Structure 1
């Protein structure tokens, strides 16, 4: 049952994608990782945090357009409507999978930080001409660079290009940046633990994104509003 993956074992056994959608996400990421990454160090990712934060906050308008009843969360019907409006071609099953994948608190509504993860996954999965059409409809031309940065950051960490980031890959990435600093191993472990939601020793792009919204601080300003919308 679940236990810790031993060094000699392949961690793959522990991380069977939960849904077809997640399997697609891992495949898409393998393709991206195999193209290499323009990131040179973990620090270069951290330096981009303020810019990413600003770019995310610009999504608030889009979020509010989707949130038709203005209750601070997007439910499944609102999400279907918004996909329809933007002509994003996902099947019913994919929409359900996407919603479940991003509604991390399982409270049947996507909060703003969960919505950011949704947009990033749509970007990764619809990486073709169709995406450009969608982005112009969403009125978010600057987001492309932000999503590209996130994909690049993950590709940089995924040294063996298998679509997952393992603990040893995280340690390696942070050691490259802080060579010789004794604390670097601890930093890597902490960052990794923040990412590894299901504690299976492997991080997929979705888990990485959820950790990222927290590192960048998207979650912080939501907690203050929490009290109001709760029934």
Structure 2
């Protein structure tokens, strides 16, 4: 005969269930605190980026396959590297990074009309190295986010200008590539959408599935199963080797 009544067993089950749920929630909170600064979601900025992307996605994309994105790598690489002079121009103390004040000066010079809060949010989102300043690859990501946000017809930045017309076609290509991957146009790319994009180009065998998963894991920094535009941009700079320039600059600085 059981030492517990049915009522007692029911109460015990409820207590255990609540305990597990509480521990899970606490574990999630601790995990979030332990994440690098760049991986803690910037909810307000992220919401703006997602909304701007949805608006852009309503216009469709000219990209027809993942291979066509890869074929654009050399041209994109060349265009982005030309931005190095702009980066060095606004790195006023020539220490290899752009700090908050230098970014504000940059925005004023380029006539980018964002609020103080928006500039701060962008800086926090893109300074993933947490070195109190943005490296070249981080600066490129920030400019591309600015390009997307200023295209938002529901926002306040429709009339803003970056002052970098030669880069705008490259940034549009990057936006176009993300739109191609985001099949359901919700502002994020899922694993399923990445596999679908790869399979549209290949025969859809096991190797293509592995390629899709590998590319997706490279993009999904916070491992939440969804890739936002910022994560996509940081992955893209690694794919074309822009982040290698940052490492070379760091080595030069250490040797001097």
Quick one: distance in 2 between partners of 1:184 and 1:55?
29
Deviations 1:21-44 (A, max 9, x none): 211000010111122111000000
* Residue equivalent to 1:11: none
* Residue equivalent to 1:6: none
RMSD of Structure 2 on Structure 1 (CA): 2.0
| 8 Å contact kept, 2:198–2:204 | no
Quick one: distance in 2 between partners of 1:101 and 1:145?
23
- Structure with bigger gyration radius: 2
1:39-58 to 2 correspondence within 5 Å?
39-58=63-82
| 8 Å contact kept, 1:17–1:23 | no
Change (3 A) 1:152 1:99: same
Runs of 4+ in 1 over 6 A off after TM superposition: none
Quick one: distance in 1 between partners of 2:40 and 2:189?
14
Quick one: distance in 1 between partners of 2:111 and 2:117?
16
Quick one: distance in 1 between partners of 2:79 and 2:243?
14
Aligned length: 215
* Residue equivalent to 1:93: 117
* Residue equivalent to 1:68: 92
* Residue equivalent to 1:9: none
| 8 Å contact kept, 1:41–1:177 | yes
Deviations 1:185-220 (A, max 9, x none): 000000000000100000000000000000011112
* Residue equivalent to 2:162: 134
Find 1:160's aligned residue among 184, 196, 201.
184
Quick one: distance in 2 between partners of 1:180 and 1:171?
8
1:169-184 to 2 correspondence within 5 Å?
169-184=193-208
Give the TM-score, by structure 2 length: 0.79
How far apart are residue 129 of structure 1 and its match? 5.4
Higher relative contact order (CA 8 A, sep 6+): 1
How far apart are residue 223 of structure 1 and its match? 1.3
Quick one: distance in 1 between partners of 2:51 and 2:57?
10
